[in-house]
Structure 1
Amino acid sequence: MPTPDAILIGYTLLIVTVSFVNLIPLDYWWIRIWDFPHLQLTVLAALGLVAWGWFGNQYFNDWLVMVPIGLLATLCYQAWLIYPFTPIHKRQVIRRTNPGPSDRDNTVRLLISNVFMDNTEFGKVRELVDQYKPDVAMFLETNQRWQDELKSIEADYPYQILHPLENTYGLLLYSKLPMKHHELRHLIQDDIPSVYVQFELPSGIPVHFYGVHPMPPSPTEHYRSTERDAELVLVGREARKQSEPVIVAGDLNDVAWSHTTRLFQRISGLLDPRIGRGLFNTFHASYPPLRWPLDHVFVSCHFQLQDIERLPNVGSDHFPMFIELTYVPDAERPVIEKPQPEGNDLDEAQETVEEAK
């Protein structure tokens, strides 16, 4: 076999294997980590097809026939995963195109930022708050130094949940909206906090907010994804029970197209504002070729979208996210089909929680 043919076959086997290995229903990090780079694998598969057309045996002799078949199958699979986050897909969250006089009192502006605990660009974060003037700002990976550096914004945000930690899972939440109820939770792991808050919009409408930052599966963090997946399941099941508006936001340490995140949507019934708009890749801020969407905002069907942006880098490995949402009363909004559990989703969710606990 000529050397170029052997290289193409080996390359194809590698790309196909790492593209589909995430379909194995095991939670080990070395499997789940391949949920992330599907954009990059799409490019690599396309490059492989170009190389086959340039160097390969055009007569499909011997094993070389597997090169275009395998790479085309990979591209189809990647396209199926990524297609919902392109402008040609129907949008899940409708844009607010006919604002009314009540919109101002029914709108919430939310800023989410994983600041990277060792980052010292404190001024950039404060500038973002000054520029975008969010009603609610949540900062993740915050320690005591970050809390001290953000004291200057506290006067504008009288409602706060401040839980700095030195383990990269600290959380600081600042709000202009009154908190009618709030809880600092440790749903699965004792050192991984999350928050549940019932905000009140100026109109008096309550909004149930869940802020999360579960631990990712990785060789430096956790050997499996079960704890992350279980935390998302617990939040999703609780969110679905709410009859009032819901927002779930944070660094989920998972990508938008993964089985876990799609399961979360079906369990929670929440909508993804990125669907039909774009990926809004937030990680890794310093390496453009290695980016994927890790920071998320999911909303109930009560909301329509005013704005969604990936904000400039603040010195972190994550870009911040900003979203502006308007609550629309039932009588004024069209009927929207919520995601629903499929097949054995509920059994899988329960098994995940039981295994994690």
Structure 2
Amino acid sequence: MVRILNKALLLGVWMVVVASLLGFWGRHSRWLDHFASFRVQYFLLSLGLSLWFLGQYLYQKKRRDAFQLLLALFSLGLNGWFVIPWLDYSKANISTTADFRIYHANILYKNKDYAFITNRIVSNKPLFISINEATPAFIQHLDSTLGKQYPYGFDVLAKANTRVVIRSQVPVLLDTAVAFKTKGMMRLTTQVQGKTLTIIACHAYNPLWKEDFLIRNRQLKQMAEIIKREKNPTVIIGDLNLTPWSVFYESFISETGLKNSRQGFGVQPTWPTSFLPLRIPIDHCLTNSLLETTSFKIEKPTKSDHLPLEIGLRFCP
């Protein structure tokens, strides 16, 4: 039985190594890009395999066990290089006052329990609400229940007749040029504490199909062009349908100089809610250097396949 288990684990470690390496070539294929999404899972599997093969080597002192151990350690180090910086929780227990808070949720277009969602929003009392996959029926419910608290906002058409929605307690101005140019994305400006703030709300296309993969990448490129022209404190909020380990995410961050608000607060994976072992962080809040994150946390579920986020931000002095 031990011999069979060793063979199965050796096959497992080779599979983890191959999957880890395939993620580097995500620029050439949407399927290869998906492999980069599971760096945390590869890291944890590699850690378990390393401990097993270390025990086998110390017990039997065989050259074969040493090779298997080195293979597992290679995978552990490779994925640890990407994952360990995101295991930083140094900001989680720091108490800093936010200038404003954003509640973001991809609510799932099939989710009909609208009151459940709006009750979650009421309990958080954010200054801004960001919703992805909103249907006309949900928008009608949102405005009828929270219209007095959040009288300002816009929504733009996204994929499959759903909408990206922003609602605000303070007046917002829509950049119509961006809204008409790019489906599923809008740029808003507003005033918070006497300072001009830019909010870019986006629901990037799911890169499962080739056409949607290309559209998602085009959305990232167009957002990068906007960011490079921005002079205001700026935040990007939404389901971007990629993880921090995607080559497209890395290129986007390198080009724009943005920061991910979850840095210092842990990985905080948001999708899928149905199966924790495969959960990955694809809902993001990104800011430029004129904003600082004071809090970043996953909120209670809304019967969606995504977990919502609540982010506290403040203007840098």
- TM-score, normalised to structure 1, is 0.79
Report the residue type matching 1:157 in the other structure: Y
Return the match for 2:147 from 142, 154, 157.
Answer: 154
CA distance in 2, matches of 1:177, 1:268: 27
Indicate if the aligned counterparts of 1:140 and 1:171 stay in contact, CA closer than 8 A. yes
What residue is the counterpart of 1:174 in the other structure? 167
What residue is the counterpart of 1:247 in the other structure? 235
Indicate if the aligned counterparts of 2:260 and 2:286 stay in contact, CA closer than 8 A. yes
Return the match for 2:124 from 124, 129, 132.
Answer: 132
What residue is the counterpart of 2:15 in the other structure? 14
Return the match for 1:269 from 257, 260, 263.
Answer: 257
Q: How does 1:168-317 map to 2 (within 5 A)?
A: 169-183=162-176, 185=179, 187=181, 192-203=183-194, 205-218=195-208, 221-222=209-210, 225-317=213-305
The DSSP-based 3-state class of the residue aligned with 1:141 is: strand
CA distance in 1, matches of 2:72, 2:207: 27
The DSSP-based 3-state class of the residue aligned with 2:278 is: coil
CA distance in 2, matches of 1:96, 1:50: 38
Q: 1:59-106 deviations in whole A, cap 9, x for unaligned?
A: 4435x54322221111112111112222277x7x9x774x6xxx8xxx
Report the residue type matching 1:179 in the other structure: V
CA distance in 2, matches of 1:156, 1:224: 36
Give the drift of 1:142. 1.2
CA distance in 2, matches of 1:185, 1:4: 56
CA distance in 2, matches of 1:13, 1:223: 32
Change (3 A) 1:120 1:8: same
The DSSP-based 3-state class of the residue aligned with 1:292 is: coil
Q: How does 1:35-184 map to 2 (within 5 A)?
A: 35-53=36-54, 58-61=60-63, 65-87=66-88, 97=96, 107-151=99-143, 152-163=145-156, 167=160, 169-183=162-176
Report the residue type matching 1:198 in the other structure: T
Change (3 A) 1:47 1:86: closer
Q: 1:136-157 deviations in whole A, cap 9, x for unaligned?
A: 1111011122112212112222
Change (3 A) 1:52 1:186: farther
Give the drift of 1:108. 2.3
CA distance in 2, matches of 1:316, 1:7: 36
Indicate if the aligned counterparts of 2:265 and 2:296 stay in contact, CA closer than 8 A. no
Detail structure 1 runs of 4+ shifted over 6 Å in the superposition.
none
Q: Percent identity?
A: 18
Change (3 A) 1:41 1:177: same
- TM-score, normalised to structure 2, is 0.88
Report the residue type matching 2:197 in the other structure: V
Indicate if the aligned counterparts of 1:284 and 1:317 stay in contact, CA closer than 8 A. yes
What residue is the counterpart of 2:29 in the other structure? 28
Indicate if the aligned counterparts of 1:143 and 1:166 stay in contact, CA closer than 8 A. no
The DSSP-based 3-state class of the residue aligned with 1:157 is: coil
What residue is the counterpart of 1:347 in the other structure? none
Give the drift of 1:278. 0.8
After TM superposition, the structure 1 stretch with the greater mean CA deviation from structure 2, 22-31 or 315-324, is 22-31
CA distance in 2, matches of 1:253, 1:276: 21
Report the residue type matching 2:205 in the other structure: M
Indicate if the aligned counterparts of 2:103 and 2:130 stay in contact, CA closer than 8 A. yes
Give the drift of 1:186. 5.7
Q: 1:193-243 deviations in whole A, cap 9, x for unaligned?
A: 21111112241x11111111111222xx44673332231122123212212
Give the number of the structure whose residues are more often helix, by fraction.
2
Give the drift of 1:179. 1.6
Indicate if the aligned counterparts of 1:32 and 1:217 stay in contact, CA closer than 8 A. no
Indicate if the aligned counterparts of 2:164 and 2:201 stay in contact, CA closer than 8 A. no
CA distance in 2, matches of 1:80, 1:291: 20
Change (3 A) 1:186 1:52: farther
Q: 1:282-326 deviations in whole A, cap 9, x for unaligned?
A: 111222212111110011221233322210001001111111212
Indicate if the aligned counterparts of 1:311 and 1:322 stay in contact, CA closer than 8 A. yes
Structure 2 residues not aligned, in runs of 5+: none
Indicate if the aligned counterparts of 2:270 and 2:281 stay in contact, CA closer than 8 A. yes
CA distance in 1, matches of 2:246, 2:299: 24
Give the drift of 1:165. 6.2
RMSD value over aligned CA atoms?
2.7
